[in-house]
Amino acid sequence: MTLHATNDFFIPARTGFPAPAGRALASLQPISVYPAGSEIYAQGEKAGNLYQVEFGCVRVYRMLADGRRQISAFHLSGETFGFEAHPLHHFFAEAIGAVGVRTLLPAQGIDMSSQILPLALQGLVRAQEHLLVLGRQSAVERVAAFLLDMAERQGGLDRLELPMSRTDIADYLGLTIETVSRVFSKLKEKGAIRLISLRSIEIRKWQVLRGMME
Amino acid sequence: MTLHATNDFFIPARTGFPAPAGRALASLQPISVYPAGSEIYAQGEKAGNLYQVEFGCVRVYRMLADGRRQISAFHLSGETFGFEAHPLHHFFAEAIGAVGVRTLLPAQGIDMSSQILPLALQGLVRAQEHLLVLGRQSAVERVAAFLLDMAERQGGLDRLELPMSRTDIADYLGLTIETVSRVFSKLKEKGAIRLISLRSIEIRKWQVLRGMME
DNA sequence: CGTGGTGTTGATTACTTTCAAGATGTGTGG
DNA sequence: CCACACATCTTGAAAGTAATCAACACCACG
């Protein structure tokens, strides 16, 4: 699937998520809109650009030869992704739903390291914290951690939106969709959460979820 | 355990591992020697320094309240660690065996971002690749990936040294020591590896290990 | 030559996956 | 607006993998 982005499109950044930070980095760049499921970059492609999400959600992932997939991160409004240590991409990035992305071109001559470094470090800490979840936490703990993380990134309100499918959640948490579904049901039974719709959740007992993360 | 490093010690960087890269970053800094098991920094401490391993091996990890531990990375000679996005450390760093470390102090006024950024990105890619291992690979695959990674970082020779205990390996791979031990035995039976000693391994069938990573 | 720490091996248990079926939701065309 | 079809999600039963519990072997140290 090699859909291309509709370029040079102006879209007001209305997302329901917190306003993007650090926009000063490249305010002149236009926003590209990627349709649902389209590829932003692929493993093996030339890397170099950075991308800032304006609205929507992006998944960054890696694949094994047999089709197993691990999503290393979801990126919501205001977050920056596309960091690579080498000339070629090691990961895939795809739009979940329609996504508005500001491409930050590597300015020739100008060193933006000091602006980029904090963003890279943010990603590094996030990844390392996720290692703890994948390496040492049970299915329930993983889902609880995920919900709390998503809630926090959306402003810490009781109600949160899940822009991604169960499959995406499973591939992010290192579980199967069935297990994710079962855990959702269990949390629902316990009254910790309420499913307003499939992609919309209300957290009713923060303490229960927090207690599950230890 | 708050052992302190023996400072201002000159130790020739003889390690058996590849020579450190990027030493120009702070060639003036003295080497600190941390004794086996000592703490280099702890979660909650003020962050800001970077550390470059001169010899030995460092483990960086996180803990859950109930004692579960996830090692997010081992750092060998020449590698740099200590990156943090926030003013306080989110992780612990400890010496495995005796370790020589060059502390890179944050130079006031001078912006070293352009030198630090590639190192941070290296760590980011490493962490994200490890996510795939923890999230989607079986015990055997994890151990195989670990051995190949260690071998590669030590020059790609048939013989490799494991500076860390089985417990450390388990906590890095998200397994128990029993499972790690069993996988080692299984690989030994298959003739893929030979245990020269507990901490010294010969890889006899690279293809078998590689095949296990998919 | 004990002694404590580390590593190995075996038996059982527990959790997650896999396989399978059914339910719910969404989008399209009539 | 409804009906159908496909995709996504949920639930159940069986199977598999790694964890846990337990005993023993090995190694380093005094």
Give the residue from B132, B154, B174 where a domain finishes: B132
- For A25, the token pair is 């980095």
Site from A81, A136, A167 to mutate, B interface, most B CB atoms within 10 angstroms = A136
Same domain, A66 and A35: yes
Give the model confidence (pLDDT) of B189-198 as tens digits.
Answer: 999 999 999 9
Q: Is residue A21 part of a domain?
A: yes
Spell out which residues of A between 124 and 153 contact strand C, using CB within 7 Å: 138-140
Give the model confidence (pLDDT) of B11-57 as tens digits.
Answer: 333 333 444 444 455 556 789 999 999 999 999 999 999 999 999 99
Same domain, B66 and B161: no
Q: Is residue B4 part of a domain?
A: no
How far apart CA A179 and CA A185 sit, in angstroms, is 10
pLDDT at A165 over 70: yes
Q: Is residue A1 part of a domain?
A: no
Same domain, A175 and A200: yes
Helical H segments across chain A, by residue range:
113-136, 139-153, 166-173, 177-189, 206-212
Give the model confidence (pLDDT) of A69-111 as tens digits.
Answer: 999 999 999 999 999 999 999 999 999 999 999 999 877 677 8
How far apart CA A175 and CA A58 sit, in angstroms, is 19
Same domain, A129 and A141: no
Total residue count of chain A as it appears in this document: 214
Half-sphere exposure in the Cβ direction for B143 (13 Å, CA): 24
CATH classification at residue A21: 2.60.120.10
Same domain, A104 and A148: no
Q: Is residue B14 part of a domain?
A: no
- A135: nearest CA in chain B? B174
Q: Is residue A146 part of a domain?
A: yes
Q: Is residue A44 part of a domain?
A: yes
- Across the interface, do B134 and A129 touch by the CB < 8 Å criterion? no
Give the model confidence (pLDDT) of A173-214 as tens digits.
Answer: 999 999 999 999 999 999 999 999 999 999 999 999 999 876
Q: Is residue A92 part of a domain?
A: yes
Give the residue from A133, A165, A196 where a domain finishes: A133
Same domain, A26 and A85: yes
DSSP letter, residue A88? B
Q: Residue A179 CA to chain centroid, in angstroms?
A: 21
Spell out which residues of A between 162 and 181 contact strand D, using CB within 7 Å: 165-167, 177-178, 180-181
CATH classification at residue A198: 1.10.10.10
- A63: nearest CA in chain B? B132
Q: Which of A64, A65, A131 sits opposite B131 (nearest CB)?
A: A131
- Across the interface, do A64 and B137 touch by the CB < 8 Å criterion? yes
Look up the domain containing A148 and give its range. Answer: 137-212
Q: Is residue A98 part of a domain?
A: yes
Give the residue from A95, A113, A133 where a domain finishes: A133
Same domain, B123 and B142: no
Whether A110 contacts chain B with CB within 8 A: no
